């Protein structure tokens, strides 16, 4: 907002000041979204869940139900030994 205010004071043009705000706001959005995804992935990691990427977090958010099966699709980050032969 400081840049928009300075732009308005120097040019007295509202459109130029608003365009500055739009550019500044879009840059903030581009930075905030990846940070939110990385933060969610870090929180999942603390709880023992490894997420392959942000795309998968977004898909989970839209899911009504998650089914766990034996195919290895959903796994823990730590392997466990069942039996040593």
Chain mean pLDDT for the chain: 75
85 located within any domain: no
* Residues making up the chain, counted from first to last: 85
pLDDT tens per residue, range 28-44 = 666 666 778 888 888 88
Closest CA to 58 of 42, 40, 72: 40
Catalytic sites, residue numbers = 69
pLDDT of residue 15: 76
Number of domains in the chain: 1
Residue 60 to residue 54: CA distance in whole angstroms: 10
Q: How far is CA 78 from CA 17, 47, 52, 62, 68, in A?
A: 53, 12, 15, 27, 17
Domain that holds residue 24: 2-61
What pTM does this model have?
0.46
16 located within any domain: yes
pLDDT tens per residue, range 57-76 = 888 888 887 766 666 566 66
């Amino acid at each position: 907002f400081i840049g928009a205010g300075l732009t308005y004071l120097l040019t007295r043009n509202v459109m130029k000041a608003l365009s500055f705000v739009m550019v500044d706001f879009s840059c903030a959005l581009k930075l905030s979204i990846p940070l939110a995804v990385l933060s969610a992935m870090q929180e999942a990691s603390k709880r023992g869940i490894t997420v392959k990427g942000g795309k998968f977090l977004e898909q989970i958010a839209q899911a009504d139900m998650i089914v766990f099966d034996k195919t290895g699709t959903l796994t823990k980050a730590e392997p466990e030994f069942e039996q040593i032969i």
